[in-house]
Structure 1
Amino acid sequence: MTHQTIHPEGWAPAKGYANGMLTQDGVLHIGGQIGWDEKQEFASDSFVDQMRQALKNIRSIVEAAGGKASDVTRLTWFVIDKQEYLAHQAEVGAAYREVFGKHFPAMSMLIVAGLVEDRALVEIEATAHIS
């Protein structure tokens, strides 16, 4: 079985990892996405802004594989500050719907001590099924 690396056009190169791996049977595994843009630059230190950007990154990877946001079947969130997330739930919901609409895949959230990128407040990985 062969796998295809998925890397949206115009994005800075991924170093030591793949943003997405598409299997022959259409399963797209998306590596953890953080709140930086296609140039790997953070535009904001706001939790909601970073979460929105991470979701946009996931959507871009899915679209680069020929899919759409509704093809995402699983999201796993890694958050460094539970209270920050809880304090902004209404904004989180609005930002989520802005990117994914009313598509709600299976989700898990883990509270972690830190992420590899110091400015990252959230990292989200995903699985999608591209038909």
Structure 2
Amino acid sequence: MTTPHQFLAPEGWAQAKGYANGMVAKGGELVVLGGQIGWNAQQQFEHFDLVGQFEQTLRNIAALLAEAGAGPEHLVRLTWYITDREEYLANLKAIGDAYRRVLGRHFPAMAVVQVVALMEADAKVEIEATAVIPAKPAQVAA
């Protein structure tokens, strides 16, 4: 997947795999999404496992991006909050598969943080997202 943004990769650094160390986005509209969890549009959980909730969380992010006129390629940052590091590590392949199914092969700057709990008792993952929709040529200041 291509992105209109620049990936930061200093000379001599090992290539980031599945994430970016940093990104540069110039101009345009900033899209900031609050923490999304793995429930459906009616705020009901259909999945009680990490992988199912993770995929639903990404679908929620994709729906909000679309509402803003953006797509996964506009993401510049994701912050994941997970409640169980061991469950996360045990499911890396399935999580990666779900990520690529929903967001493709665009990997923005990311952080994954283990937390004790999330506000919704059944939630296993919460993800905050930031995207930048590039300015159209007519929007660029002279």
Shared topology, TM-score over 0.5? yes
> Which category of TM-score, normalised to the shorter sequence, fits these structures?
0.7 to 0.9
Q: What residue is the counterpart of 2:32 in the other structure?
A: 29
Taking the aligned partners of 1:39 and 1:77, their CA distance within structure 2 comes to 22
Q: What residue is the counterpart of 1:91 in the other structure?
A: 94
Q: Secondary structure at the match of 1:48?
A: helix
Deviations 1:10-43 (A, max 9, x none): xxxxxxxxxxxxxxx5101100000001110100
User: 112, 115, 119: which is aligned to 1:116?
Assistant: 119
Query: Structure 1 counterpart of 2:70, which letter?
Result: G
Q: What residue is the counterpart of 1:10 in the other structure?
A: none
- How far the C-alpha of 1:69 sits from its partner, in A, is 1.0
How many residues are treated as equivalent by the alignment?
Answer: 108
TM-score by length of 2: 0.74
Q: What residue is the counterpart of 1:76 in the other structure?
A: 79
Q: Choose between structure 1 and 2 for higher RCO, CA contacts under 8 A separated by at least 6 residues.
A: 2
TM-score by length of 1: 0.80
- How far the C-alpha of 1:130 sits from its partner, in A, is 1.5
RMSD: 1.2
Task: Could you list the structure 1 runs, at least 4 aligned residues long, displaced by more than 4 angstroms after superposition.
Answer: none
Q: Secondary structure at the match of 2:111?
A: strand
Q: Highest CA radius of gyration, 1 or 2? A: 2
Q: What residue is the counterpart of 1:9 in the other structure?
A: none
Structure 1 unaligned regions, length at least 5: 1-24
Taking the aligned partners of 2:35 and 2:100, their CA distance within structure 1 comes to 20
Structure 2 unaligned regions, length at least 5: 1-27, 135-142
Taking the aligned partners of 2:117 and 2:49, their CA distance within structure 1 comes to 16
